[in-house]
Structure 1
Amino acid sequence: MWKRNKENKDTIFPVTIDKLEKLLVDKFNNNPDLKFSKYNINDKKVAVFFIDYQVEIDKIQQSLLQPLLNMDKKITNSTLLYELPLNSGSTSHTLQDVLEKLVIGEVFIYIELESEIVSFSMILKENRNVEKAETESLVLGPKISFTESLSKNMNIVRSRIISTDLVFEEVKIGHLSPRDVRLVYLKSIANEDDVNTMRQRLNELDVDEIEDTIVLKQFMEDSQTNLFPQFVETELPDRFTYNITRGKIGVLVENSPTAFIAPATLFSFLESTEDLYMRWQAGSFLRIMRFMAMIFSVLITPTYVAAVTYQYAIIPTQLLISIGQSRAAVPFPPIFEALLLEFLLELLREAGARLPTKVGQTMGIVGGIVIGQAAVEAGLTSNILIIVVAMSALSSFTTPSYLFGTTVRIIRFPLIVLAGILGLLGIAFGLCWLIIHMLRLTSLGRPYLAPLYPLQIKDFNKVFFRAPFNYSSRRAKTYRPKSIIRFNKKDAKQKRDIDE
């Protein structure tokens, strides 16, 4: 009973057209983009109104106004819904419903003193065509990326997963500026607890607006204050659908060319779908190389600082002589020298990313060479440290995930400080803190270091290396999918010639 009274209180219909016009003009603060037209059709006063830049004007003229003005039948709401050559008609009873539909691009037709109002969806969508991925480039495999159109993205996903089990759950997020969100999963495979957890987080999110998928991802993560990303972001449909078929959950957002996948582990950010398109030996080699590059990127510069500052004994004699000669003219301690060079490298990287593509590439290459050479000649740094920092930067760029690569680069700075203060003991202390921190971290309630913790040895061939497809008949137990079996292993091994 209370809900019914609340709805009636918000209902303004029936109302005169003049009063409706005044009410809408006041609500939109005399905005000239609100187009409100009045017509007399078959002894009936009819109003047509919409937001100018939100609708397809040509479609309104041809499919709505011309049939409406030429209508010779008695005009009623039912006549409008069934006689006009439009398929997306609906009715509204409250002012709030009218305002919400108006701002997204619906066109309203009101017959004076009727108890409800009719609207048609004629939303004007400005979207780019499907193009090649920019941030996640591949040598092999599909090159297309997601776009800002949710319907296009859903179409791409549906064309790659042709199954009735594929679910697109609709969620609206944002009070001030509502945005369409789709929760994507395979009903027969995805873990039901994970689906319920993600659904609950989406439905309980209380915000005015979300700017992008990456912003929504930060709201959804288990810990918003953590440096490590807990969900995998991607602009590649093949990576998205690959994870969906493995039992994970995806999220698509309107007006965003990026999707995110959950749950994730630390090792998910080092995987690439390109590993699947190569022979298993090459795919395994590249995946192992990325793991080693991540460790190398984190440790190489701090280890140099610790060795040069305290632990001279771990450096071979000939190399120690070269380092001593190189640092002879440098007036700064190794910790300051390393921090300065790392900071300059980050400046070059950020400047190159913000400048136009051709200028950015030139500036990155020329700027790195010129500044590095000038820094050595000026005695600000040693040439050996430049090599070390460059190798560390190259290693961080091998990470397929841009956000995770940024995390790796940030971790280097406190480790350099600890190495400069305590030497190798400081690096060990920092690494222990990182491991303990990641042991406590979760992604959608799942351990972040799985399958190392908790230990799942049978999942190693899906994480640390890539086994041949004949030996990948099971999905990873780490994510606890409903269905572990992907295909029959015995049938996959059988090979028959054409004459058998």
Structure 2
Amino acid sequence: MKGGDYMSEQLPMKADAYMDVMKTQFNDSPDLIQKVFHIKGQAIIVHFISYQVKRERLERDLLENITNSQKRWTNEGLINKIPLSSTEKQSSLEQITTKLIHGSVAVYIEGEKEAVLFALPQQDHRSLNRAETESLVFGPQVSFTESLITNLNVVRWRLDTDDLVVEKLIVGERIQSEVRIVYLKSLANDENVETMRQRIKDLKVAEVEDTSVLGQLIEDSTSSVFPQLIFTELPDRFCNSVSKGRVGVMVDKSPTMLIGPMTLFSFFESTEDLYMRWNMGSFIRLLRFLAMALSIVLTPMYVAALTFHYEIIPSTLLVSLGQSRSTVPFPPVIEALLLEVLIELLREAGARLPTKVGQTMGIVGGIVLGQAAVKAGFTSNILIIIIALSALASFTAPSYLMGTAVRIIRFPMIILAGAWGLIGIVFALSFLIIHLLKQKSLGRPYLAPIYPFQWKDFNDSIFRLPFKKNNYRPLNVMPKDTERYSKAKASERKDVDPS
């Protein structure tokens, strides 16, 4: 809150002086409503922000009870006789102001050392709807909203246990936001919880606009293009991660939740994999890894082969490549970069335009510009196919941030491939692997279970085993209880004996 002379004022105060302090703090805003009632010689001030409180409850439960009284009021009388459950006394003018902003009604009786606050927030928010950025074919379709209370209700409904811990923190020195840390006490590693808690507490920022902003402030490496914490709008993914021993974070007014610690492979997982049969889920997960690998190296390999390594191209394909590029005035590296930029422009335009217009723009724009570029001699047919395959492969990542990171990586790899051929690609891949080995998420290895090697965690990262064999929680998050259930008992068959 902004400081001023009112900070030196203390209750009790005269009614007029108290009202002047509040008007000054709110910069004479017309939204601050202050009503003065004189009852039995008492001056009682009721003040609130007009659009922040439920007016019908204010008038029915609070104002009617105060004005209909035939006795002198005290703070204790207000708390005991007003039929509202969420009440508190507050002597700090700064805290009173903060509570008013968050939807409380303050009642100050002249001469008292404290004001009584009644929480009557008017919470306007959208209802639970279908997820937009993380669409699923199987499984729950509901997504989080901007209301922290609604999101907490959804999480508690899915994690129906008294083992669930929800800690409250306040972040922001000028504009404060409520943050909740969510974890299971019997599973979450204490070091992970303390790391998350301490990083949030240590933040010295004016405000935190969204969960994604908070994630960038607390992640291990802010210079890396790779996200180290997962952001999700799906309650089932959030609760599934918490039930594995991870730590979740919720921010008021944000529809996105944060989960950590995570690994690189976690960004290619989807809760949809759990809802499918295990062999289907494993196939699709492995397909995503293959798609990401192709997306990174396919275009650089084309550039390297046409620039330095003609000998690796089959002779029949080399002839068609030569014919296709006979009218192209640019070297392969410039040609590839131009098309990559074109694809990114189409993707960004399609994302920003309204849904129906954006889909039309992406399809028609891609076809028209692609055909025009080939006929004008700016590019070859084969490169258009390769660029389209690379773009499609990057879209298979369930995480939007990871898909964007993969698309960004392609640009320096294309440049290095154009400069040094296969040597440039090997150098780029080596640098990429070293970079990933150095990354951490809440202090945990980012490349687990590959490094450090942990075979049991392959089920929760590389592929998915049948549920009967999936009896361990991810060891890389160091849960207190690693075993989900007895593997021997889960494998027992108890069919009804027909005899």
Q: TM-score range by the shorter chain?
A: over 0.9
Identity over aligned residues, as a percent? 54
Contact 1:10–1:96 under 8 Å retained in 2: no
**Partner Cα distance (1:267, 1:350) in 2:** 26
Q: Deviations over 1:74-130 (max 9, x none)?
A: 311111111111111111111111111111111111111111111101111111000
SS of the counterpart of 1:460? Answer: helix
Match of 1:332 among 323, 330, 333: 330
Cα distance, 1:458–1:81 mapped onto 2, change above 3 Å? same
Aligned to 2:286: 288
| Partner AA of 2:232 in structure 1 | T
Relative to the length of structure 1, the TM-score reads 0.97
Matches within 5 A, 1:422-461: 422-461=420-459
SS of the counterpart of 1:22? Answer: helix
Match of 2:361 among 356, 360, 363: 363
Aligned to 1:5: none
Q: Deviations over 1:360-404 (max 9, x none)?
A: 000100000000000000011101100000000000000000011
2:420 is the alignment partner of 1:407: no
| Partner AA of 1:175 in structure 2 | E
Aligned to 1:303: 301
SS of the counterpart of 2:407? Answer: helix
Deviation at 1:261, TM superposition (A): 0.6
Aligned to 2:159: 161
Aligned to 2:197: 199
Aligned to 2:168: 170
| Partner AA of 1:71 in structure 2 | S
Deviation at 1:73, TM superposition (A): 3.0
Deviation at 1:244, TM superposition (A): 0.7
Cα distance, 1:9–1:338 mapped onto 2, change above 3 Å? closer
Deviation at 1:206, TM superposition (A): 1.0
**Partner Cα distance (1:30, 1:409) in 2:** 51
Matches within 5 A, 1:174-193: 174-193=172-191
Matches within 5 A, 1:349-498: 349-498=347-496
Contact 1:190–1:481 under 8 Å retained in 2: yes
**Partner Cα distance (2:50, 2:170) in 1:** 24
**Partner Cα distance (1:154, 1:32) in 2:** 33
**Partner Cα distance (1:193, 1:187) in 2:** 12
Matches within 5 A, 1:127-138: 127-138=125-136
**Partner Cα distance (1:429, 1:9) in 2:** 60
Contact 2:7–2:93 under 8 Å retained in 1: no
**Partner Cα distance (1:359, 1:310) in 2:** 42
Deviation at 1:43, TM superposition (A): 2.3
Deviation at 1:408, TM superposition (A): 0.3
**Partner Cα distance (2:474, 2:90) in 1:** 48
2:237 is the alignment partner of 1:221: no
SS of the counterpart of 2:44? Answer: strand
Aligned to 2:96: 98
Contact 2:53–2:120 under 8 Å retained in 1: yes
| Partner AA of 1:307 in structure 2 | A
Cα distance, 1:207–1:9 mapped onto 2, change above 3 Å? closer
Structure 2: any 5+ residue segments left out of the alignment?
1-5
Match of 1:33 among 31, 34, 44: 31
**Partner Cα distance (1:10, 1:193) in 2:** 41
| Partner AA of 2:469 in structure 1 | Y
Deviation at 1:489, TM superposition (A): 1.0
Match of 2:111 among 107, 110, 113: 113
Aligned to 1:85: 83
**Partner Cα distance (1:27, 1:465) in 2:** 58
Higher deviation after alignment, 12-21 or 56-65: 56-65
Contact 1:168–1:185 under 8 Å retained in 2: yes
Q: Deviations over 1:427-455 (max 9, x none)?
A: 00000001011111111001110001011
Q: What is the aligned residue count?
A: 493
| Partner AA of 2:146 in structure 1 | E
| Partner AA of 2:271 in structure 1 | T
SS of the counterpart of 1:53? Answer: coil
Aligned to 2:67: 69
Relative to the length of structure 2, the TM-score reads 0.97
**Partner Cα distance (2:261, 2:495) in 1:** 42
Match of 2:251 among 239, 253, 256: 253
